[in-house]
Amino acid sequence: MPTGICAWVLQRACIDAAQWDDESFGISVNVSVLQLVNEDFVACVDRALASSGLAPQRLHLEVTESIFTDDMAVLTANISALKARRVKMAIDDFGTGFSSLNLL
């Protein structure tokens, strides 16, 4: 189960965003590929959303391009589960790594 600073940051971000008066705003949280391939990461997100009361569509998870990993089965399953919950996903720093213009 994701613990420590990563789980705390996710929990704290959801709590803070849930208290905002304007529900049209979301909160972006950077997550590492190590978190995203953790089999318990989706449960960690579920706990943060449930305990904070934040609507899932207001949570935006940003993952760096290092998302490309050897553990594609868990990664794909976790991304699919998060998208099914309406949590938004984005690639952070797009264009600086595998998709940089120098490499293309």
Tell whether 103 is covered by a domain: no
Can you give the pLDDT at residue 59? 97
Taking CA atoms, 74 is separated from 79, 80, 87, in Å, by 9, 10, 17
Tell whether 79 is covered by a domain: yes
Residue 52: name the closest of 2, 14, 3, 6 by CA: 14
The three-point CA angle 45-51-57 to 5° equals 50
Q: What is the pLDDT of residues 61-81, one digit of tens each?
A: 998 765 556 778 888 899 999
Tell whether 9 is covered by a domain: yes
Query: Residue 29 is part of which domain span?
Result: 4-92
Tell whether 104 is covered by a domain: no
Tell whether 102 is covered by a domain: no
Count how many domains the chain has.
1
Q: What CATH number should be reported for the domain holding residue 56?
A: 3.20.20.450
Tell whether 63 is covered by a domain: yes
Q: What is the pLDDT of residues 30-56, one digit of tens each?
A: 998 888 888 899 999 999 999 999 999
Tell whether 97 is covered by a domain: no
